[in-house]
Amino acid sequence: MIIKGGSRAGPRQLAAHLQRTDTNERMEVLELHSGIDDLAATFRDWQTLSEGTRGKKGLYHVNIDPDARYDMTPQQWARAVEVLEQELGLDGQPRAVVLHEKKGRQHIHIVWCRTDLETMTMRSDSNNYLAHERASLKLEREFGHEHVPGKHAKRDRAKQPEFPRADVSHAEHQQAERSGLSTQERRAQLAALKSSCDSGMAFKAAVEETGYVLARGDSKDFVLVGPEGSVYSLSRELKMKAGEARAFMADVDRDALPTASDAKAQQRDRQKDAEPPAFEMQRPPVEDLAPEPETQGEITDAQEQDSGAPELAPAVAAALAAREQAEAEKLAKWHHAELRQLRHVLVLEAREKIDGLRRQQQAERERFIRDGKLSGIEGYIEALQNRLNPGRGAEKRLERETAWKHLHKRQAIERADLRTLLRQDRAEHIAELKERHEQQRRDQQAGFARERIRYAEDSARAARLLAQVEEDRREAERRRQEGRAAEPPPRPAK
C-alpha cells in the first residue's frame, strides 16, 4: 500500500482534479465534512481560514493506493482514513474523501483542513513522510497485504543500509508512457547508438536519424527531444558525468543547436506533417474497397496472392468503417472535453494568482501611504521644519513622488511578468495534453488497422473452410454415385 501527499493550496484546481470523470471510470465523494455539497467552495473556505494564521497552504491532500491484487471494502477504506488521520495528527479536522476508479483499480484521495479553529493555528505537517509510512505499514499488517518497502519507517536498515532511490522518477514514468518506450529500452537504444559512433557529430546524425533532436539545454549540457516532445538530459541518458558528455560532444557547436523549446516545436511540426487530419481514417473510402458490380466474382486466386493480403467483403468493410468512425468521433469528443476542462482549470488558477498579486500590491501601496503620514508630535515637527526650510520640504516631496512612481513601475513589471509566465505555463500544459491526444489517436488508428487485418484473415479463412466443405461434399456425392453404378443389377422375378 502506497501513501503519498503533502500540504498545498490551489483549492479550485484540486477540486477540479478530484471531480474529473474523463480520466476516471468512476468518481464518488465518500465523505464531505461541510455544510455545503460543493468541493470547490468547501476547499476555498478551508484555504481562506488559513489566511487568519498567516499560512499559505491550508489544505493537506493525500492519496492511498493499494495494490491492484486487493479489493478494498468500504470498511477498510474508512479504517485506512482513520489510521492515516491519527498518524498525521489531523484527527478532528474537517475532511473530504473521494474515490477514483481507473482501469478497474481503485484509490482514494483525502483532503483535510489544516486550520484548527479552536487555536487558529495550522496543524503541523512536519515528518509527514514518516507518518505516511507508519500508516501504510500498520494497514498492510492489519489487512494482510504484501509489505511494500519504503525509505523511512518501512526501511530495514540492517538489510537495506543504503538509502533506496527509485530507478525511474514519476516524470520519467510519464515520459515513457508518452513515448511508448520504457526508460531502460530508451537508454539501451541510445547506448547502442553511442557505441557505434566515434565522434559527437556522428552521434548527432545517428540520434536525429532515429527521430530525436539534439538541442542545447538551459545550462551547458546537451539535451535530446524525443518524437513525442519529451526532453531528456544527454548525460543522464548515457549514464555519463556532465564533463564526460561535453568532452564526447566537443566537436558539436552547441550554440548552433536549437533550444529545447524550438526542438519541441520541430517535433510537433513533424507529427502534424506525418499525420492525417484528426477525423480522417487512414484507409481509402469504403467505395474504393468494393469492386465494381460487373467485375465481382472475377477475382482469381492468383490476383489474391498478388495482392499480398485478403480483402474484406464490401458489407464487412462498410460495417467496420461505420464503427471506426463512431469510435473516432467518441475519442475526439472526449479529447475536446478534456481540453476544455484543462483550459477552465488553468483560467481559474491564473485568475487566483493574479488576484493574489493584486491584493499583495494593494497592501504594499497602502503601507507606502501609511508610512508617509506622520501624526502627533512627529507630524508637527515635520511641518515646522518644512515651513522654516521650504527647499527641504520640496526635496522630500520630490523624493516621495519618485519613490511612488518607482513603486508603480515595479508593480506593473511584476504584473506583466506574471501574465507572461501564466501564458507560457498555459501553452505548455495545452501542448502536452495535445501531444497525449495525438498519441492516443495514433494508437487508435493502429488498433483499427490490426482489426481490419484480423477481419480480412478470418473472412479468407472462413471462405477456404467453406470451399473445403463443399469439395468434400462433392467428393462424397461422386463416390456414392460410383458405388451405385458398381452394384449388380437385381435378378428378375420367377
Provide the 8-state DSSP code for 218: S
pLDDT score of 284: 39
Q: Which DSSP helix (H) or strand (E) runs through 125?
A: none
32: which strand partners?
96
Please give the Cα distance from 394 to 407 (Å, whole number). Answer: 20
Count of CA atoms in the C-beta half-sphere (13 A) of 279:
9
Q: Are 18 and 341 in contact (CB under 8 A)?
A: no
Out of 3.60.15.10, 3.30.930.30, 3.40.50.1100, 3.20.20.70, select the CATH number for domain 2-143.
3.30.930.30
pLDDT score of 43: 93
> Which among 158, 236, 142 is positioned nearest to 190, based on CA atoms?
236
Contacts of 312 (CB under 8 A, 6+ apart): 289, 320, 452, 455, 456, 459
Q: Are strands 213-216 and 115-116 parallel, antiparallel or unpaired?
A: unpaired
| Residue 490 burial (CB count, 10 A) | 6
pLDDT score of 377: 62
Q: Are 42 and 36 in contact (CB under 8 A)?
A: yes
pLDDT score of 303: 41
Please give the Cα distance from 423 to 47 (Å, whole number). Answer: 25
- AA identity, residue 347: V
pLDDT score of 228: 79
Contacts of 457 (CB under 8 A, 6+ apart): 310
Phi, psi of 313 (to 5 degrees): -70, 150
What is the per-residue DSSP string for 47-91?
HHHHHTTT-S--EEEEEEE--TT-PPPHHHHHHHHHHHHHHHT-T
pLDDT means per 10 residues, the chain with 494 residues, are: 89 91 86 88 90 88 89 92 94 93 89 91 89 90 81 57 55 56 79 84 85 80 84 86 86 86 84 51 39 42 45 74 86 86 85 86 82 61 66 73 86 88 87 88 87 80 83 85 68 59
Q: Are 26 and 99 in contact (CB under 8 A)?
A: yes
User: Cell digits for 247?
Assistant: 568532452
pLDDT score of 251: 87
pLDDT score of 152: 56
pLDDT score of 87: 93
pLDDT score of 154: 52
Q: What are the boundaries of each domain within the chain?
A: 2-143, 170-272, 314-479
> Which among 106, 135, 98 is positioned nearest to 4, based on CA atoms?
135
User: Cell digits for 439?
Assistant: 498519441
Full 3-state SS string of 407-439: HHHHHHHHHHHHHHHHHHHHHHHHHHHHHHHHH
